[in-house]
Amino acid sequence: MEQGSLLGLIPLAVYIILCFTRFGQIFAVIAGMLVAAAIGHHGIMDIAAAVRGGLGSFLGYIGMIILLGAGLGQVLKRTGVVRHLVFMVTERWNINSQNRAFLVVMSCSVIIVSLLGTMAGGNAILAPILIPIAAAVGVTPNAMAVLLHGAGASGLFLGPFTPPMVALMEFTGLSYPQVLLNAGLPVSIIMWLVTFFWARRVQKASTGKNRYSEEDIAKENADWKPDASVRRATLVFLVTMFTMVGYGIVIEGGSTFVVAIMLVTAALTGVAANLDPVEIIDSICDGAKNFIWLFFFFVLLDPFINFIQETGAFQALAALLEPMVQDGGTVGFIAFSTMVGIFGVPGAAVAQAEVLNKMFLPLVQSLNIPMTLWVAVLLIGSQMTSFAIPEGDMQGQMGLARSSDLKSVLCNGWLIVLCTTMYVIIRAMIMVM
């Protein structure tokens, strides 16, 4: 029975292998879904019904949140709100040193990414604004790439409606403050410290060897001041965002309230900047279009995971591993499951968290591991892959920083992986003491 059930892991293996090929994640999840359907003896109507169900699933909802986050980002860019937020940060800092420039770049990246829920979209908006400011004090592209990648990603672990945080709340049943205090904030602090000190080292090593052009430095417009429309839009954005987030927490709106926050915030910000309804909608659609593939991916991921789960593969895997886990104890299991997440399950981070949770949840329950610890495993196991392996996120941030120094960014990633993994293992050790 267990051996037969373990055959249900074949689709997962197919998916993992294809994720590392040129075919991409959508092809990988389609192939995995079809193999899982074949193993489970599902016909074409079963597959069609499952895909339809995926449209209304939680994973499909996560895809919609990503689209709306990117759309909101485009509204903020078009209205000048992003530039004004950066201006508000830089105006209070006399940026006359590289260390201060590092802190400004990191702060702006964390703030914008946590508000928009997308690192790719947030840093793409910020980079053209921040590069001239940083270049003016000699920050190199090598260090800039480290800063954008290391700091920007942490913003995803702080915002109450970023896709990773929404997913972690759904998977563990914890509230936003619980996820933030037990996973998001500790991991972010580790990432900030590692990124800042490694960026200083990279800056020292690359000074005199690589630099931004005079044209990049000249792009800084020191005389830029927000006009009345931009100031009004920024005020409306901040008031609306924080009011709705606070209200959502009070009423325990959870993930369901996220779409309302994004739509209302985008609409009111656009109106405050004198955009008409068509311009607001066009901006949202323009920002979302580059992430349509992720929406399709999450819709297809739901039937893929469900077909595997119906085979009993995850339960069989738990039964197979249980004797070894009992021998290794809680600490051994935490270390093992974290490493499996980082190195064994590729793909979009929320998808990794979903697979990791379904795969190991029976063992988590049998070992009585609290969700406050398991949420840290899910976060680190799903998010650190982009730091351990030079995949799209890492390459994308290098491109935004105009750097070709993969070694520096990858070394920063490895240090973050090491430190965050040690953090969750130490927490497990403290728990069993």
- The b-or-e profile of 66-82 (16+ CB within 10 A means b, else e) is bbbbbbbbbbbbbbbbb
- The SS3 call for residue 346 is coil
Which tokens go with 296? 């399709």
* Sign of the dihedral defined by the CA atoms of residues 218, 222, 227, 233, in that order: positive
pLDDT of residue 1: 38
Q: Are 162 and 114 in contact (CB under 8 A)?
A: yes
Nearest to 380 by CA among 329, 345, 411: 345
CB-based contacts of 375: which residues, under 8 Å, 6+ apart? 168, 171, 172, 174, 178, 179, 182, 183
Return d(Cα 196, Cα 100) in angstroms, integer.
11
Return d(Cα 113, Cα 126) in angstroms, integer.
10
* Longest pairwise C-alpha distance within the chain: 72
Q: Are 342 and 388 in contact (CB under 8 A)?
A: yes
**Angle CA 123–24–255, to nearest 5:** 55
pLDDT of residue 2: 43
Helices (H) and strands (E) in the chain, counts: 23, 0
Q: Are 314 and 358 in contact (CB under 8 A)?
A: yes
pLDDT of residue 89: 77
Q: Are 134 and 176 in contact (CB under 8 A)?
A: no
The Cα-based distances of 50 to 43, 45, 53, 401 in angstroms read 11, 8, 5, 41
Q: Are 425 and 180 in contact (CB under 8 A)?
A: no
Tokens 């020292």: give the residue. Answer: 204
Which tokens go with 262? 């994004």
Nearest to 89 by CA among 107, 113, 114, 110: 107
Residue segments in the chain with a per-residue pLDDT below the cut of 70 = 1-4, 216-224, 254, 345-347, 391-392
Return d(Cα 292, Cα 139) in angstroms, integer.
35
The Cα-based distances of 325 to 320, 331, 353 in angstroms read 9, 9, 20
